[in-house]
């Protein structure tokens, strides 16, 4: 019992269940106070606190607290708080309720000490995030949510199969560092990677998230991919294949974001890009790299939420999300624009922003390991991030051309949410030691050297120059880009259609025989549809008898 | 209505001049700051500036070419 009172994840899940019962000011108070309570509770626990229960003969460890889990719980809690502040007066109760259960599930995954507890809350996250998506209550979010849940249930099945095989092989359910050298651990790795947005099933992220409501995407961006990063750090640090997967994700994100016209889909692709940096760091696997991946997860959650709050405000005030419809909003929405630009600078790792102090650690770890190709890829990608998210998003939304739209800044609570996270981005950029003190390993790294600051400025400013030189080539068009989801959205439905056509041709061939049979049968007076039904039943029975005879004889 | 400062031809020119001065300064600063190159390739003058610029041009061109292959009208899945 004490356990559930001290478990921040369960606190949030409980609050999520109560939110639909609350109205008005009470609801606002609950959604603002509960995340702070969870944060206070977890910071007052000893770092050695653990809490377990037994289930089906297994000892489940519901709460395992150490520096790494504390870091993730902290950033999850402040994101729930800021996200709630941002939408507490606008979002519907369904969305807030689902978002709290989703965030609670994410915290419970982070605190899970074993694979079964992890799996249970992993699936709770899949279900509740789908509900967040469906809270947008329109046809496109309904369909996107259906695709989203199917992919995640598939990932869940792969993960469960992996856990079962691993348990069978080792007799242990502990979540510790593993090697992908057996079928069990490979399947577990695949299950984790699916949630991180790794290839080949990357498309679910950019397909689903932008269909959420203006505030739903803020919550969605924070938890699923980052819990995947967390469990990869726990389970597979130093697994070399993750470097290649990470680098692929980094460039996939940039290229698709460059092609995209929908402002929130640009930001969705950039989630894949940023998670790629973290996965690359986990693949490198040194203390510096893992510190970098953890720090980057922290800063990324904050600046991505900030960017999505800024984009969400534009969507909320104008109802538009395509770059071709937007432009010139800086004059009428100064707060939204300035906060969005701070987020854009942070994601680009500009000096004095949070991205600079976290991403540099991953790049530095590639230098320390003397892996030239990874370092070159990460540097090119850093320039590319500025290109696709750092400039492209603010440029097309807030500058570009005068779209004729004159929306005002959103309501005060939405502005406060953005201002709070813009402050966090700058604060961590100026005082990186606050973040470094929370990292799992001792930090021996100084981000602000003259050399590092100068080379980063060169890299970023000249990529900015490239953006404006290439601007004619970046003209936005009313298009989407095909991705892996084409296979299940277009190819398979098309194959089913062809199969139907084939069957109808076959049945037309059989029509004369059918009619002949019918004229002599007892069904002479029955209607056409009944006759067809009877004929089909006869056909099925005939095939069944043939199969039966075949099996009896062979 | 008077055109906003941002969109006037004269101010766009000013912005470009300012940008080029800042860019030049970041390169000139290399004479005064020791960069501690780790990889050999880093020791070329203005490596980060050139690399950042060329990498971005390459990515934009690649995206453009890939676009011919995978871009579809945005109601592609709705019809």
Highest mean pLDDT among A55-69, A394-408, B51-65: B51-65
Residue A101 pLDDT greater than 80, yes or no:
yes
Rounded to an integer, what distance in angstroms lies between the CA atom of residue B48 and that of residue A128?
44
Question: Closest to B29 (Cβ–Cβ): which among A254, A454, A464?
Answer: A454
- A24 lies in the same domain as A7: yes
- pLDDT given at position A16: 94
- A405 lies in the same domain as A542: no
Query: Is A471 a domain residue?
Result: yes
- A261 lies in the same domain as A353: yes
In this structure, chain A runs to a length of 554
Rounded to an integer, what distance in angstroms lies between the CA atom of residue A376 and that of residue A371?
9
- pLDDT given at position A52: 82
Number of structural domains (chain A) is 3
Q: Are A477 and A324 in contact (CB under 8 A)?
A: yes
Q: Where are the alpha helices (DSSP H) in A399-527?
A: 412-430, 432-436, 450-469, 485-486, 492-520
- pLDDT given at position A553: 77
Tokens of A97: 């309720």
- B60 lies in the same domain as B42: yes
Range of the domain at A463: 197-207+224-483
Q: φ, ψ for residue A367 (rounded to 5)?
A: -65, -45
Residue B1 pLDDT greater than 50, yes or no:
no
Read off the pLDDT band of A518 (50, 70, 90): low
| A529 C-beta neighbours (distance < 10 Å), count | 8
Tokens of A102: 């989703």
Contact A458 B49 (CB under 8 A): yes
Query: Is A212 a domain residue?
Result: no
Q: Positive or negative, the Cα torsion across A425, A426, A429, A435?
A: negative
pLDDT, tens digit, 9 for 90 and up, residues A222-278: 999 999 999 999 999 999 999 999 999 999 999 999 999 999 999 999 999 999 999
Angle ∠(A377,A379,A380) on CA atoms, nearest 5: 65
- pLDDT given at position A56: 82
- pLDDT given at position B29: 87
Q: φ, ψ for residue A326 (rounded to 5)?
A: -105, 175
Tokens of A39: 């944060």
CB contacts of A482 in chain B (<8 Å) are 70-72, 76
Rounded to an integer, what distance in angstroms lies between the CA atom of residue A169 and that of residue A163?
10
Q: Given the structure tokens 């999850």, which residue do they identify?
A: A76
Q: φ, ψ for residue A442 (rounded to 5)?
A: -55, 130
The pLDDT mean for chain A works out to 91
Report the pLDDT averaged over residues A24-53: 88
Report the pLDDT averaged over residues A388-401: 89
- pLDDT given at position A548: 86
Report the pLDDT averaged over residues A489-515: 85
Query: Is A4 a domain residue?
Result: yes
- B78 lies in the same domain as B42: yes
| A38 C-beta neighbours (distance < 10 Å), count | 25
- B43 lies in the same domain as B75: yes
How large is the angle between the packed helices A93-111 and A115-134, nearest 10 degrees?
160
Question: Closest to B55 (Cβ–Cβ): which among A330, A384, A473?
Answer: A384
List all residues of chain A from 35 to 64 with a beta carbon under 8 Å from chain B.
none
- B3 lies in the same domain as B26: yes
Rounded to an integer, what distance in angstroms lies between the CA atom of residue A229 and that of residue A360?
18
Q: Are B48 and A379 in contact (CB under 8 A)?
A: yes
Query: Is A312 a domain residue?
Result: yes
- A390 lies in the same domain as A523: no
Interface test with B, best of A247, A320, A363, A463 (most B CBs within 10 A): A463
Tokens of A7: 């478990």
Number of structural domains (chain B) is 2
Chain B contact for A10, CB < 8 A? no
- pLDDT given at position A352: 94
- pLDDT given at position A428: 96
- What 3-state DSSP class applies to A29? helix
Chain A contact for B60, CB < 8 A? yes
Read off the pLDDT band of A526 (50, 70, 90): low
- B28 lies in the same domain as B43: no
- pLDDT given at position A1: 45
Q: How far is CA A40 from CA A27, A112, A391, in A?
A: 20, 19, 37
Tell which of A452, A483, A514 closes a domain.
A483
Query: Is A219 a domain residue?
Result: no
Query: Is A513 a domain residue?
Result: yes
Tokens of A506: 């076959």
Range of the domain at B45: 38-79
Query: Is A201 a domain residue?
Result: yes
- B9 lies in the same domain as B25: yes
Q: φ, ψ for residue A201 (rounded to 5)?
A: -85, 55
- pLDDT given at position A70: 93
**B79: distance to nearest CA of chain A, Å?**
11
Rounded to an integer, what distance in angstroms lies between the CA atom of residue A264 and that of residue A315?
9
Return the minimum-mean-pLDDT range out of A109-118, A152-161, B30-39.
B30-39
- pLDDT given at position A474: 82
Q: Given the structure tokens 């369909």, which residue do they identify?
A: A143
- What 3-state DSSP class applies to A60? strand
- pLDDT given at position A519: 66
**CA A335 remoteness from chain centre:** 27
Q: Are A336 and A445 in contact (CB under 8 A)?
A: no
Tokens of A119: 């799996």
**CA B11 remoteness from chain centre:** 20
Report the pLDDT averaged over residues A128-136: 95
Contact B55 A380 (CB under 8 A): yes
Return the minimum-mean-pLDDT range out of A77-91, A241-255, A280-294, A320-334.
A320-334
Q: Which residue of B has its CA nearest to A483?
A: B70
Contact A451 B38 (CB under 8 A): no
Rounded to an integer, what distance in angstroms lies between the CA atom of residue A492 and that of residue A479?
22
Tell which of A443, A461, A483 closes a domain.
A483
CB contacts of B39 in chain A (<8 Å) are 367, 372, 375
Chain B contact for A460, CB < 8 A? yes
Tokens of A84: 């709630």
Q: Are A148 and A157 in contact (CB under 8 A)?
A: no
- B26 lies in the same domain as B53: no
Which residues sit opposite A450 in a β-bridge? none
Under DSSP, the state recorded for A61 is E
Q: List, as one string, the DSSP characters of B3-65.
A: PPGGG-HHHHHHHHHHHHHHHHHHHHGGGTS-----SGGGGSTTHHHHHHHHHHHHHHHHHHH
Tokens of A207: 């397909």
- pLDDT given at position A6: 79
- B9 lies in the same domain as B28: yes
pLDDT, tens digit, 9 for 90 and up, residues A302-361: 999 999 999 999 999 999 999 889 988 988 999 999 999 999 999 999 999 999 999 999
Q: Are B41 and A451 in contact (CB under 8 A)?
A: no
Residue A516 pLDDT greater than 90, yes or no:
no
- A431 lies in the same domain as A502: no
- B3 lies in the same domain as B22: yes
- What 3-state DSSP class applies to A479? strand
Contact A451 B53 (CB under 8 A): no
- What 3-state DSSP class applies to A93? helix
ipTM, 2 dp = 0.91
Residue A540 pLDDT greater than 90, yes or no:
no
Q: List, as one string, the DSSP characters of A354-387.
A: HHHHHHHHHHHHHHHTT-HHHHHHHHHHHHHHII
């Amino acid at each position: 019992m004490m356990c559930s009172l001290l478990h921040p994840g369960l606190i949030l899940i409980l609050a999520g269940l109560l939110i639909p019962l609350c109205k008005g000011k009470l609801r606002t108070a609950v959604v603002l106070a509960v995340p702070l309570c969870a944060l206070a509770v977890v910071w007052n626990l000893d770092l050695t606190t653990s809490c377990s229960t037994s289930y089906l003969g297994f000892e489940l460890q519901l709460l395992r607290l150490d520096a790494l889990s504390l870091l993730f719980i902290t950033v999850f809690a402040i994101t729930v708080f800021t996200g709630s502040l941002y939408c507490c007066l606008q979002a519907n109760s369904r969305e807030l309720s689902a978002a709290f259960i989703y965030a609670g599930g994410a915290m419970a995954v982070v605190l899970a000490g074993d694979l079964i507890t992890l799996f249970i809350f992993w699936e709770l996250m899949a279900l509740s995030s789908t509900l967040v998506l469906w809270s947008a209550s329109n046809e496109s979010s309904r369909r996107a949510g259906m695709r989203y849940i199917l992919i995640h249930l598939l990932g869940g099945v792969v993960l469960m199969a992996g856990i079962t095989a691993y348990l069978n092989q080792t007799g242990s359910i502990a979540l510790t560092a593993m090697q992908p050298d057996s079928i069990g651990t490979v399947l577990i790795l695949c299950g984790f990677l699916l949630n991180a947005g790794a290839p080949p099933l990357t498309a679910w992220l950019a397909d689903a998230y932008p269909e959420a409501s203006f505030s739903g995407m803020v919550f969605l961006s924070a938890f699923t991919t980052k819990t995947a990063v967390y469990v990869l750090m726990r389970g597979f640090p130093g697994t070399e294949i993750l470097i290649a997967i990470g680098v692929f994700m980094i460039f996939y994100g940039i290229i698709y974001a460059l092609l995209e016209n929908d402002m929130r889909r640009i930001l969705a692709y950039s989630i894949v890009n940023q998670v790629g940096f973290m996965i690359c760091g986990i693949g490198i696997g040194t203390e510096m790299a893992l510190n970098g991946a953890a720090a980057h997860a922290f800063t990324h959650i904050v600046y991505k939420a900030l960017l999505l709050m800024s984009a969400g405000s534009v969507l909320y005030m104008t109802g538009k999300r395509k770059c071709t419809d937007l432009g010139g909003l800086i004059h009428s929405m100064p707060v939204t624009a300035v906060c969005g630009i701070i987020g854009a600078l942070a994601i680009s790792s500009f000096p004095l922003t949070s991205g600079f102090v976290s991403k540099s650690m991953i790049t530095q770890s590639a230098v320390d390991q003397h892996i030239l190709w990874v370092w070159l890829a990460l540097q090119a990608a850093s320039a590319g991030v500025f290109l696709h998210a750092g400039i492209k998003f603010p440029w097309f939304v807030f500058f570009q051309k005068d779209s004729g739209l004159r929306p005002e800044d959103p309501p005060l609570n939405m502005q406060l949410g953005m201002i709070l996270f813009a402050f966090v981005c700058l604060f961590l950029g100026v005082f990186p030691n606050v973040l470094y003190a929370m990292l799992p390993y001792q930090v021996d790294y100084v981000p602000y050297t003259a050399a590092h600051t100068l080379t980063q400025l060169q890299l970023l400013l000249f990529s900015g120059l490239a953006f404006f030189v290439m601007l004619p080539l970046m003209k936005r068009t009313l298009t989407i880009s095909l991705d892996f989801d084409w296979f299940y959205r277009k190819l398979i439905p098309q194959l089913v259609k062809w199969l139907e056509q084939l069957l109808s041709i076959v049945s037309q061939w059989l029509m004369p025989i059918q009619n002949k049979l019918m004229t002599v049968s007892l069904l002479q007076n029955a209607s056409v549809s009944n006759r067809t039904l009877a004929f089909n039943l006869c056909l099925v029975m005939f095939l069944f008898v043939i199969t039966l005879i075949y099996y009896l004889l062979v | 209505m008077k055109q906003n400062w941002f969109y006037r031809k004269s101010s766009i020119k000013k912005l470009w001049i300012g940008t080029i001065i800042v860019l030049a300064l970041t390169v000139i600063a290399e004479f005064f700051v020791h960069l501690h190159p780790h990889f050999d390739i880093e020791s070329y003058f203005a490596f980060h500036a050139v690399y950042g610029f060329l990498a971005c041009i390459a990515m934009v061109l690649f995206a453009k070419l890939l676009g011919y292959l995978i871009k579809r009208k945005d109601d592609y899945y709705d019809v």
